[in-house]
Structure 1
Amino acid sequence: MQEAKLVAVIEPILAQHGLELDSLDVTRMGKRSVLRLTVDGDGPQGRGPLLDDIAAASSAVSAALDEDPAVGDHPYTLEVSSRGVGKPLTEPKHFRRNATRLVKLWLADAELTGRITDADDDGVTVDVDGAERTVPFADINKAVVQVEMNRPVDGDEDEEN
């Protein structure tokens, strides 16, 4: 299976479901191949795709691959997932989709952890201990969302638990 041909089949279907292909990994496992799709998208509130969106797109992609000569008679297993919180934020859209989330940024001269308050094409603004700081993307070496067990609900950031 050629990845370029698979992408040509998959991307238009994902677009119909409001999703985009983040990555495609094809791994041969004996006579079968495992196709791992990682998808992303804005979702209904600009905060990432919903599970129902991913499930519907997965079914449509599977049906299309079953019929497409790019797959042919090669048996495969399809795995579709979202980016997840463990994947580094690498593009402005990743920061925008994670607004209000706690993020750790590794800069050339420091590390900082703060809550994303805004993001545009040039950088991200984070609230670090009550002070907003705008960091250009060019200054960020790595950025990862921090998992919070008791994450404040939108609008509840100032309330105590």
Structure 2
Amino acid sequence: MSTTQSDRLRGLLEPLVTAKGLDLEDIELSKAGRRRMLRIIVDSDEGLDLDLCAELSREISDKLDETDVMGEDEYQLEVSSPGADRPLTEHRHYVRATGRLVKFQLSVEGDKGDKGEELIARILGVDDEGMDLEVPGVKGRKATARRVAFTDIARARVEIEFNRKDKSGMQKEEEA
């Protein structure tokens, strides 16, 4: 997708998304045979429900039909959440992942190109500079606290936990 079309789509759709109290995470345009697929990825602090996605999808479809931004060719529109395997790249992603187990690839001395330490830890709190983590103990050892700055993170992704404990300590089934 050309930068111009991406920018035009973002400029056209972002006001619709933010009016619903959502964040526009990504716009993906790809070819599927003779058709094109336009995937709009949205998220919020409270999560998404199917009714809200359907309502937003209708509004986006109407807005795209009013303009020529997609041209004359057929396309399929999909409005969805980022999914569990989305990389954490924005401050808000880390805030939303508070309480979750995350796999971090740390950079070497702030150099995002080199692979450093791999760390799996639970996010306890997030501020402007970084986050406080709880690193699970290994082989019966106690968990340890650790601080990680955003500048030290090369990559991060939430780990799926099927028997994650919620804040009250009760077992909770994780939705994938």
TM class, shorter-length: 0.7 to 0.9
Equivalent-residue separation in structure 1 for 2:149 and 2:132 (angstroms): 9
CA–CA distance in structure 2, aligned partners of residues 59 and 100 of structure 1: 34
Task: Give the corresponding residue for 1:87.
Answer: 86
Percent of paired sites with the same residue: 40
What residue ranges of structure 1 are gaps of 5+ in the alignment?
A: none
Q: Distance in 1 between matches of 2:133 and 2:54?
A: 33
- Matches for 1:137-156 after TM superposition, within 5 Å: 137-156=150-169
Which residues of 2 match residues 13-28 of structure 1 at below 5 A? 13-28=16-31
**1:50–1:13: structure 2 CA closer, same or farther, 3 Å change rule?**
same
Given that 1:37 and 1:81 are in contact with CA atoms closer than 8 Å, whether structure 2 keeps it comes out as yes
Distance in 1 (alpha carbons) for counterparts of 2:123 and 2:51: 26
Distance 1:52 1:102 in 2: 29
1:18 and 1:42 in contact (8 A); partners too: no
Instruction: Using structure 2 for the length normalisation, give the TM-score.
Output: 0.78
Rate the CA distance shift 1:55–1:133 in 2: closer, same or farther, 3 A.
Answer: farther
1:114 equivalenced with 2:121 (yes/no)? yes
Change (3 A) 1:98 1:53: farther
1:118 Cα deviation from its structure 2 partner: 0.7
Shift, 1:87, TM fit? 1.4
Residue 3 of structure 1 corresponds to 6
For 1:39, give the aligned amino acid: V
Deviates more, 1:66-75 or 1:126-135: 66-75
CA–CA distance in structure 2, aligned partners of residues 136 and 86 of structure 1: 22
SS of the residue 1:148 aligns to? coil
- Quote the Cα distance in structure 1 between the aligned partners of 2:89 and 2:11: 24
1:76-101 Cα distance to aligned partner (Å, 9 max, x none): 10012211121111121101011111
Root-mean-square deviation over aligned CA pairs: 2.0
Structure 1 position 67, deviation (Å): 2.0
TM-score, normalised to structure 1's length? 0.84
- Give runs of aligned pairs for residues 38-77 of structure 1, distance below 5 A: 38-43=41-46, 48-77=47-76
SS in 1 for 2:15: helix
> Aligned residue pairs: how many?
154
Secondary structure of the structure 2 residue equivalent to 1:156: coil
- Deviation string 1:17-75 (CA, Å, 9 cap, x unpaired) is 111221112123455321111112222xxxx3344332322221112112223234332
